[in-house]
Chain A
Amino acid sequence: MSDALSLVFGALADPTRRGILARLAEGPAPVTELGRPFDMTAQAISKHLKVLERAGLVTRGRQGQWRPCRLEVEPLDRATGWIEQHRAVWADSLDRLEQEIVRIQEGRHHDQD
Chain B
Amino acid sequence: MTRTEVEFARGRQDIVVTRQFAAAPDVVFAAMTDPELIPRWWGSRRFDTTVEEMDVRRGGLWRFVTRHREPPATPYTFWGVYHDVVPGSLVVSTLEFAMGGPGRLQLVTDRFEAGPDGGTRYTNVALFQSAEDRDGWIPTDMESGIRESLDLVDGLIG
Listed in ascending order, the chain A residues whose CB lies under 8 Å from chain B are 1-3, 5-7, 9-15, 47-48, 50-51, 54, 83, 85-87, 89-102, 104-105
Known: A51-B157, A100-B40. A9 touches B138 (CB 8 A): yes
Complex contact A3–B146 (CB within 8 A)? yes
Complex contact A101–B27 (CB within 8 A)? yes
Tell me the complex Cα distance, A47–B4, Å: 40
Complex contact B136–A93 (CB within 8 A)? no
Checking A7, A54, A85, A96 against B141 with a beta-carbon cut-off of 8 angstroms, the contacting residue is: A85
Complex contact B4–A87 (CB within 8 A)? yes
- Nearest-CB distance from A40 to chain B (Å)? 12
Known: A6-B149, A47-B157, A100-B31. A94 touches B132 (CB 8 A): no
A7 surroundings in chain B (CB, below 8 A)? 149, 153
Tell me the complex Cα distance, A10–B101, Å: 10
Of chain B, the residue at the smallest CB distance from A98 is B21
Could you show 6 A-B contacts with beta carbons less than 8 Å apart?
Answer: A2-B143, A7-B149, A11-B153, A85-B141, A93-B41, A97-B40
Closest CB pairs A-B (n = 4): A10-B153, A13-B136, A96-B41, A91-B4
Complex contact A6–B42 (CB within 8 A)? no
Of chain B, the residue at the smallest CB distance from A97 is B41
Q: In the complex, how many residues of chain B place their beta carbon closer than 8 angstroms to a beta carbon of chain A? A: 43
B28 at the interface (CB under 8 A from A): yes
Tell me the complex Cα distance, A34–B145, Å: 32
Complex contact B132–A86 (CB within 8 A)? no
Known: A96-B40, A97-B41, A105-B23. A10 touches B4 (CB 8 A): no
Complex contact A10–B43 (CB within 8 A)? no
18 new A-B contacts at CB < 8 Å, known A9-B150, A13-B136, A92-B44: A1-B143, A3-B145, A10-B136, A10-B152, A47-B158, A50-B156, A51-B156, A86-B6, A86-B139, A87-B6, A89-B44, A89-B139, A89-B141, A90-B17, A92-B45, A96-B45, A101-B31, A105-B23
Tell me the complex Cα distance, A39–B56, Å: 48
Complex contact A100–B37 (CB within 8 A)? yes
Tell me the complex Cα distance, A83–B9, Å: 11
- Nearest-CB distance from A22 to chain B (Å)? 12
- Nearest-CB distance from A51 to chain B (Å)? 5
Tell me the complex Cα distance, A47–B155, Å: 11
- Nearest-CB distance from B81 to chain A (Å)? 22
- Nearest-CB distance from B69 to chain A (Å)? 14
